[in-house]
């Protein structure tokens, strides 16, 4: 662990303690690397038969300072009083490919046998919900603005015997999801796309398209965005 990083942890004993507890529960042999950095109130409820595999550090409830992608001051603190929560049910899996930053009040729920996969350099802002009942895949370098929702299930049938209440969601690389946007079951979003604030995405989004509205439609092609 780098000296600056260690000093930072010592100045925040709540973070040090919670990070150590969750990292130890994740993989005792990797305790010293602290693969999970978490605020005191962060919750990681993992069924013993659930799989957790981290390809990089997972930050829960704060964004890192000098040694990370963003400083904590840049989090939109709409949900700072709510804990960040990760729930992994029996038989579910949650894997990441690299650093993933999750702000306060964000929630991941992976239901029985669900599969949640998140790439590298992904930023999940406050109050975001990811509800995974089947499969949710999020690529590298994505940003989810505050209170956005990703859900791969409708939860309820609206017709007797209706099939297709649940279907995988695939979000490509470098996708920006605006504040309070909702991405519904079965949707695939192409690389580099932007989902405008408040949109409800019910159909696939082409790569590098900007979609907006309810239901979301393409309003611009060949867009670019940066952090
Ligand atoms: C994606 C976004 C940045 C695009 O902004 P922009 O390129 O300046 O878009 P414009 O204002 O030129 O709007 C283009 C058209 O789309 C419409 N539009 C823009 N945003 C919209 C939205 N969220 N929902 C519905 N329609 C929208 C505009 O009314 C306009 O329509 P018109 O051509 O008929 O007048 C912006 O829509 C947005 O979502 N901003 C919020 C981003 C956010 O959530 N940030 C949180 C921190 S990460």
Minimum mean pLDDT range among 65-69, 105-109, 142-146: 65-69
Residues 81-90, mean pLDDT to the nearest whole number: 93
- Which candidate, 180, 179, 176, places its Cα nearest to that of 139? 176
Query: Measured between alpha carbons, how far is 194 from 224 in angstroms, rounded to an integer?
Result: 8
Strands 210-212 and 217-220, how do they pair? antiparallel
Is the CB–ligand 1 distance for residue 198 below 6 Å? yes
Q: Which atom of ligand 1 is nearest to the CA of 178?
A: 44
What's the first-to-final CA gap in the chain, in angstroms? 27
Binned at pLDDT 50, 70 and 90, residue 7 comes out as low
Atom 5 of ligand 1 has which residue's CA nearest to it? 196
Is the CB–ligand 1 distance for residue 179 below 6 Å? yes
Is the CB–ligand 1 distance for residue 42 below 6 Å? no
Q: For residue 77, indicate whether it is catalytic.
A: no
Residues 121-133, mean pLDDT to the nearest whole number: 96
Task: Encode pLDDT of 18-54 as tens digits.
Answer: 999 999 999 999 999 999 999 889 999 999 999 999 9
* Structure tokens that stand for 24 in this block: 């130890």
Q: Is 48 helix (H, G, I), strand (E, B) or coil?
A: coil
């Amino acid at each position: 662990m780098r000296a600056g990083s260690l000093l930072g942890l010592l100045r925040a004993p709540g973070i040090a303690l919670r990070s150590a507890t969750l990292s130890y529960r994740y993989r005792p042999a990797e305790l010293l690397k602290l693969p999970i950095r978490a605020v005191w109130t962060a919750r990681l409820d993992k069924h013993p038969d659930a799989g957790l595999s981290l390809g990089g550090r997972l930050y829960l409830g704060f964004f890192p300072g000098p040694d990370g992608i963003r400083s904590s001051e840049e989090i939109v603190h709409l949900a700072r009083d709510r804990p960040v929560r990760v729930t992994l049910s029996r038989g579910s899996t949650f894997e990441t490919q690299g650093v993933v930053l999750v702000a306060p009040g964000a929630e991941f729920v992976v239901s029985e046998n669900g599969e949640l996969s998140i790439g590298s350099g992904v930023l999940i802002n406050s109050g975001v919900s990811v509800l995974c009942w089947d499969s949710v895949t999020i690529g590298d370098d994505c940003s989810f603005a505050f209170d956005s929702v990703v859900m791969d299930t409708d939860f309820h049938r609206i017709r007797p015997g209706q099939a297709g209440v649940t279907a995988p969601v695939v979000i490509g690389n470098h996708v920006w999801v605006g504040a309070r946007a909702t991405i519904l079951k079965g949707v695939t979003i192409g690389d580099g796309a932007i989902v405008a604030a408040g949109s409800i995405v019910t159909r696939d989004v082409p790569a590098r398209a900007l979609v907006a509205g309810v239901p979301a439609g393409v309003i611009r092609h060949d867009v670019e965005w940066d952090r």
